[in-house]
Amino acid sequence: MSFKDLKLNRPLLRAIAEKGYDNPTLIQERTIPLVLDKKDVIASAQTGTGKTAAFALPILQLLYDKQDSAKNQKKIRALIISPTRELAIQIQENFEEYATHTNLKSAVIFGGASIEPQKDILKKGIDILIATPGRLLDLHKQDFINLDYIETLVLDEADLMLDMGFIDDVKKVERLCPEEKQTLLFSATMPYKVEQLAETILNNPRRVEVSQNSSTSKNVNQALYYVPKPQKIELCLHLLRNTINGRIIIFRRTKYGVDKLEQTLLKNNYKVESIHGDKSQTLRQEALSNFKKNKVDILIATDVAARGIDVDDVDAVVNFDMPNIPETYVHRIGRTARAGNTGTAYSFCSADEKEYIKNIQQLINLQLDVVEEHPYPLDPKAKAPVHKKQGSKYKKGRKSEASKKKKKRWY
């Protein structure tokens, strides 16, 4: 199928050609006709499948075909809600590119950044607004946003939105929009709570599913290293020196872990950037942009900070900490081997993480390749340390060796 077969109009086809897309992806093939037909859609698709264009292109076409306001009286007619700022920015960049040959205007607003410039942009008039929920409600309350003319509402990464605690905000935004509207919901996974949300806000939705969430790309080599937890850093340095090349994303479970690894790699003269939820918006954007522009080869991230971010040409993903949710493993390694390229996922598993490997292998229905030849093997009999006290299970692991040696307390 070609984009022409999807009945997209000329200005959009021109922009698509300029982006270098030859043919629509599966999600685009299935979603675009439904959106053009004004249906509500619930789509299960991950980042990397081309899902942004799957909603952006038909929305632009619908708005383009029906323009009655004068240029200086633009009304917001499409609203896209995204859980993270990075994702929101990325979506808006996509809209801007696809709308190059139209007169349609889009803008993005998000928290953690100065509100005044966002007000100025809104005042100028836009057709499409991409927003994170908190800032959207804030600006609506201050009367800078009118949602009375929304024709299409998109909830992107709905599962993450709910995980991040935005459920009430999302429902509120939905109620602020007109009842008569088209709603599209995209989610990487479809847990019960997403289904429930869909049931309350979607109207007779059509379902689109492009891939099993459990599938991992055939182009990713998946190597598993059993290693004692304290030696993960040595293993990481060893692999960076000898094995891993190119552009790398290293995943850690905690913000603390990200910072600690960043310090170590910087000390070892690696050029590194990092992103996690405690960093300011400016720092996160800067880090991401430096990685995207190839100024650094290594990005260290937590899962939430990295979710949905579109970075091309990642050669390797390192699971420095194994994720306890198996689907997270699939999301992580989906960062590499995009668009037909090959990539490698390196997973570091310590004694206490063996259970996670079992669950991951079950989900992806594949045995990971265990690499036994490396300098820091884990004794196969090593057992996970037993923490007797409940409620403090992270405390021990979080303390660095240096801080343990340092007897002096900070207080």
Under the criterion CB under 6 A, does residue 213 sit at the interface with ligand AMP? no
**Dihedral sign, Cα of residue 179, residue 30, residue 335, residue 192:** positive
**Of 282-341, which residues contact ligand AMP (CB under 6 A)?**
310
> Can you tell me which of 9, 14, 21, 125 binds ligand AMP, judged by CB under 6 A?
21
The site string for ligand AMP over 47-76 (x = CB under 6 A, - otherwise) reads xxxxxxx-----------------------
Q: What is the DSSP letter of 300?
A: E
- 308 vs 323, beta carbon nearer ligand AMP: 308
Under the criterion CB under 6 A, does residue 350 sit at the interface with ligand AMP? no
- Local structure of 123: helix, strand or coil: helix
Shortest separation between residue 47's beta carbon and ligand AMP, angstroms: 4
Instruction: Candidates 22-30, 280-288, 327-335, 361-369: pick the segment binding ligand AMP (CB under 6 A).
Output: 22-30
Render the burial of 340-353: b for 16+ CB within 10 Å, e for the rest: eeebbbbbbbbbbb
Contacts of 323 (CB under 8 A, 6+ apart): 251, 253, 303, 329, 332, 356, 360
Shortest separation between residue 83's beta carbon and ligand AMP, angstroms: 14
Shortest separation between residue 39's beta carbon and ligand AMP, angstroms: 20
Under the criterion CB under 6 A, does residue 343 sit at the interface with ligand AMP? no
Cα–Cα separations (whole angstroms), residue 220 to 45, 57, 135, 294? 19, 30, 38, 22
Rounded-to-integer distance, Cα 309 and Cα 84, Å: 9
Shortest separation between residue 49's beta carbon and ligand AMP, angstroms: 5
Under the criterion CB under 6 A, does residue 24 sit at the interface with ligand AMP? yes
How many positions of this chain bind ligand AMP (CB under 6 A)? 12
Nearest to 149 by CA among 184, 178, 125: 178
Two tokens at 190? Answer: 């479809």
Report whether 291 contacts 299 (CB < 8 A).
Answer: yes
Shortest separation between residue 156's beta carbon and ligand AMP, angstroms: 9
What residue ranges bind ligand AMP (CB under 6 A)?
Answer: 21, 24-25, 28, 47-53, 310
